[in-house]
């Protein structure tokens, strides 16, 4: 089961600089110290919330990765986003809606559970929070648009290549953890396990990348790009 680890204190929070409270000045933090959201852990086989549940809490991811998925009645699944440390999720309640997707950890995670009611208050009283949240929504919308382009206009190899390149950017040539199974990469990109596996194998053979125990290394990004995105397709 999910496990209440304790109460969070914004002032001492290690990841506050990544959260929606990043821009709050210290005196504000002191003022809101009564606000002590729950810090909760989930293991990889649990679910933070299900699509359709009433959205009473938002969450800030503190440790680990989370996938947000949508599932068709027939079982086909789409990962709509992968969250990283500091990301806010589960805020559909702000629009009076229930959760639009299911949130599942990709590993053991730790989140800060923020009751929407409290968050609404804080947001009202602190323009910085409001502002940071707005910027994030716009940013997410942009990423969603980018993803629609990936899914709608690119072929399998192009999608996979640009996903890997994005995943590994800012890390040029080094090893990057990729804690997604082949199935999950497939669900993210609208491909099957086999297709993902085949391309990765190909590219390993051609020396574009290496892989080891859930980590990946892009050895030759330009080569990969040239091989896959010949005509400027990614």
Report the interface residues with DNA, using CB under 7 A. Answer: 155-157, 181-183, 190-198, 200-201, 211, 213
Tell which one of 40, 61, 65, 68 touches a copy of itself (CB under 8 A).
Answer: 68
Alpha-carbon dihedral of residues 142, 130, 6, 29, nearest 10 degrees? 130
| HEC-encoded secondary structure of 29-53 | HHHCCCCCCEEEEECCCCCCECCCC
Closest CA to 203 of 182, 184, 224: 224
Assess 222 for contact with a copy of itself (CB under 8 A).
no
Nearer to a copy of itself, 6 or 73 (CB): 73
Give the residue with the Cβ less far from a copy of itself, 97 or 202.
Answer: 97
214: nearest Cα among 186, 173, 178: 178
The span from the CA of 3 to the CA of 44, in Å, is 13
Q: Which residue in the set 2, 9, 23, 94 belongs to the binding site for a copy of itself (CB under 8 A)?
A: 94
- Residue appearing with tokens 């090893």: 175
Q: Does 227 bind a copy of itself (CB under 8 A)?
A: no
CA-CA distance, 200 to 229, in Å (whole number)? 15
Nearer to a copy of itself by Cβ, of 31 and 146: the residue is: 146
User: Interface with a copy of itself by CB under 8 A: which residues?
Assistant: 68, 70, 72-74, 76-78, 80-81, 91-92, 94-97, 100-101, 124, 127, 130, 133-135, 137-142, 144-149, 151-154, 187-190, 231-234
């Amino acid at each position: 089961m999910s496990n209440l680890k304790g109460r969070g204190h914004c002032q001492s929070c290690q990841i506050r600089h990544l959260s929606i409270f990043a821009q709050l000045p210290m005196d504000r933090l002191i003022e809101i110290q009564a606000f002590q959201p729950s810090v909760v852990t989930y293991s990889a086989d649990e679910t933070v919330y299900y699509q359709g549940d009433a959205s009473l809490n938002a969450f800030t991811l503190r440790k680990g990765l989370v996938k947000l998925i949508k599932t068709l009645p027939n079982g086909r699944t789409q990962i709509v986003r992968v969250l990283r440390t500091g990301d806010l999720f589960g805020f559909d309640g702000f629009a009076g809606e229930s959760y639009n997707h299911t949130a599942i950890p990709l590993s053991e995670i730790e989140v800060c559970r923020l009751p929407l009611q409290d968050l609404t208050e804080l947001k009202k009283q602190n323009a910085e929070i409001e502002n940071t949240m707005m910027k994030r929504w716009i940013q997410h919308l942009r990423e969603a648009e980018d993803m629609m382009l990936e899914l709608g206009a690119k072929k399998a190899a192009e999608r996979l290549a640009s996903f890997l390149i994005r995943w590994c950017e800012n890390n040029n040539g080094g090893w990057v953890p990729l804690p997604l199974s082949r199935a999950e990469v497939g669900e993210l990109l609208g491909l099957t396990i086999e297709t993902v596996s085949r391309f990765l194998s190909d590219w390993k053979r051609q020396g574009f990348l290496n892989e080891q125990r859930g980590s990946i290394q892009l050895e030759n990004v330009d080569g990969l790009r040239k091989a896959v995105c010949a005509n400027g397709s990614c």
